[in-house]
Structure 1
Amino acid sequence: MTGRRLAAATLATCLLLAVSGCPVDGEPAPEPSESAAPAPPALPTDASTDLPAYGGPPDEVPASVGPVTRVQAAVDLTPATPGLFTRVVSAVATPDGAYAVLSPADRDVAQSLVTVRGDAITATMPLPRVDDVWGMHLLTDGSVLVAGRLGEGGHGLRIVDPASGAVRTTVVVAGEDGAVSAVGRSALVDGATTAYLFVSVEGDEQTREVLAAVDVASGRVVAERDLGTDVAAASRYPVGRQLAGLVARPEGGATLVFDASPTEVAEDRIPTVLTYDADLRPVGEPVRVTDLAEGAETQSVAGAADGTVFLLVVVREGAWVLGVPDGGGAGPLLAQLEDRVYGYALAVEPAQVWAVLPAPTGALAVDLTTGETRGPLPVGCAPRLDVRNVYPAPGGALMIGECDTPRADTQLLWFLSP
């Protein structure tokens, strides 16, 4: 019985091999079918060191104001929305103060645009909701541009006139049925008339990623580019949640920063830069800011007036601050930090000497020319501080967050100065 079962099994195996095209009786295996899909070409994984590297602050920038060393003013935003629990989600500095967006916990209630002058709230007006605010920008006429996911399901911009209360909305990417999530960033050069918006919308079957240029005066989309092919030249996966930042270029156009995955292992990433001109045509090839073996992932991005892009990336041994000049490539390490947690926000002064980032007790200043750190600068919050973001401001930096002083969950805006 055992011998018959073995013989039957051997016969069945031979028949299976013959049907499947495997060699029988010593015959060679046939060539693979020509219809089989070819393996995708390998993507580069080395740093882009064949382009000009960042060489430090350019000659024409203003003089440095120095590191932030004091809190010039701390503004409690809670009185702006009496009877409502709101959180400060974004802000932008002005020559004499700031604007901030407060978002209620109740998503059916409008947000508020708060005007701060000096150390006081001077005005509050309702703002139709912009969920997941992706950026705020001050326009030349004094209006405020707020970008993000709009309440009616699209993605775009709201331009608010704080003087009259008028709000104008531009939907750049319409809402889509079956959308799972959406992320984006906006960018605008000071004094410019064109804003840039990147949107990544993940659907049930595919992810759509678009870069658009919008004329802020008319709200008209003047250029739009699908980035699917551009991203695929650097990554096996869409940008999606690996989006790090968008920086406007001085002569028009924008630079997109994300962590690309050039191999099939999604977690193996490289901080990568895609640059576009004013017509949203690619400028050069994707720039890899680090090598794959360095294991870097971008935490925050800051732009400079000359188009330089500063990245704070986490690595195994801490965090690095790196600089990529407009149209340039990977370059030297500007600063090395031991902390891997508080690098999620970064602001750089116009002189490109000092940067500011969050710290457990307030803010930390970093010299981008020497790697030196100053601080941290405490802001007087105990027992808990939650810094949400840091922005550049005239003569210093602007910081927003949540503080347990003078009461729990106090929404605060800090003006930091040298």
Structure 2
Amino acid sequence: MDTVSHIQHGLWRHPSARQDEFNCLQHWIDLVHTLERGRIDLLFFADVLGLYGPARGDFTVNAREGLQFPNGDPSVLVAALLSQTHDLGFAITSSVLQTYPFEFARRMATLDHLSGGRVGWNIVTSAQESAARNFGLDHLLEHDERYRQAEEYAEVCYKLWEGSWDDGAVVDDCHPEDISKAVYADASRIHRIDHEGRWYRVQGPAMQSPSPQRTPVLFQAGSSPVGRDFAARHAEGQFILASTPEKTQALIEDTRRRVVAAGRDPHNLVFILGQSFIVGSTEAEARHKEREIDDYLSDDGFLLHSNLGFDPTTGEPLDPDTPLSELHTNTNVSHLRWLRELAGDTDPTVRDLARLSARLRGRIVGTPDQIADQLEAWRARGVGGINIMNWTIPGSYEEFVDHIVPTLQERGLAQREYRPGTLRRKLTGRDLLPDTHPAARWRGAFA
């Protein structure tokens, strides 16, 4: 995230950390050069539009910890980084709350053009009450209702990306012998979409011509039942957090069944597990580094980031001894489920939130070979990719690229070279979404 403290709260204070330089472009340029050197597939930017905690609550902790506050617009940052990279993909989080689908579709098509087809969209619905109020709403919509809105939002984008311009609409015959016959685009192959739904009315046509991927690579992160249904219909990659191996495998298998029920190939959705890494030349060295890192962790930061330690109606802090089984939330539904799974057979309390949240950001500690062993075990559970969550920037990524990637490459778990072409081609072997994806139904629909 384009911020000070994204996930591992407190680590920005580490002597080697440069997270507080997030407003410096060179900070990010150095990072993307490291990632390309390691043949990393993509840089995924998260985003939020409001503060964690009660909508009208005190934000002292947010400010003191730099907890996703302040933060910058990832789409602007990515635009600046495109010229510094050749193969690295960029996935941008954008909520259905923050911008009208017509404007968003144009922005993403523009980035896809400028990057040669290297962008993706992480579809989110926003989970902060303060975010809803920042966009003129009295309160956050109910959890499942937000996903219904996201369905229509995605449909509008698909119509613009896939249906508004036919193949061959851009003629680009600018230098015929008879200059009066010069044609850039054929209007007969460009169409209004005339969408009228519950949430949006969009006439069209799309203001940007089809980009190399048409629709950016699609990601999603919700793992509630309705979130899994949404991912099954739309996503090509789903970000998940580490529960137990058995429950993670069960979640993956359940979601794959939903993919099949949605009429898609179950292998068209890849599960990307969030993990952090502490590597040493020996296990003892890695454990020493782990203890050092734990000294910097902020309990206040993890508790606030859980967004669960207060009464959602009154905004008052909950009794620390309140069991998590008694919490009812309209926001971090999947987050609460993961926390309860991590606790095993016990019923953790609000007092346990910070400790459990720190564990939820799964960590693997050891030598490169030990780390590779664990990643192979996760792959056997159905995990198809790893979301590398940093402790420090640039240190966490430099260590991963320099010490872990070579071992993964030796085992065939990481690529040695990039596949040419778009981000989707690099990941799936194709430039466009398959015909079984719901976006494909709009191809030629307005001709």
Report the TM-score range of the alignment, normalised by the length of the smaller protein.
Answer: under 0.3
Q: Would you tell me which structure has more helix in proportion to its own residues?
A: 2
Question: For the pair shown, which has the larger CA radius of gyration, 1 or 2?
Answer: 1
The TM-score with structure 1 as length reference comes to 0.25
By relative contact order (CA 8 Å, sep 6+), the higher-ranking structure is: 2
Larger proportion of strand: 1
